[in-house]
Chains A and B, each alone.
Chain A
Amino acid sequence: MMLFLFSLMLLSALFAWRGWRHGTLVCLSILLILAAISFYDDITTHLAIAL
Chain B
Amino acid sequence: MRTTDDITINKIDKLCNIFELVLVIAILFLSFAFQIIYHELPCPLCLFQRLGFFGIALGFLLNLRFGFRPSHYSVVILSALYTSFVALRQIALHIVPGTGSYGDPVFGFHLYTWSFIIAMVVLTTTTCLLSVDRQYKKSLYHLGHYFFKILVHGLFAVTVLLLGLNVISVYLECGFKACPENPTGYQQDK
Contacts and interface: CB of A to CB of B under 8 A. Distances in A.
Same complex origin of A and B: yes
Interface of A: 1-3, 5-7, 9-10, 12-14, 16-17, 19, 21, 24-25, 28, 31-32, 35-36, 38-39, 42-43
Contacts, number: 81
B62 A5 contact: no
A13 B167 contact: no
B55 A10 contact: no
Chain A, interface SS category: helix
Interface string B19-56: 00000000000000000000000001101100110110
B166 interface: yes
B85 A39 contact: yes
A43 B44 CA distance: 12
A25 B75 contact: yes
A36 B79 CA distance: 10
Chain B, interface SS category: helix
Contacts of A31: 51, 55
A39 B75 CA distance: 18
B61 interface: yes
B51 A35 contact: yes
Contacts of A9: 51, 54-55, 58, 163
B120 interface: no
B116 interface: no
Given A6-B166, A12-B58, A32 B66 contact: no
B118 interface: no
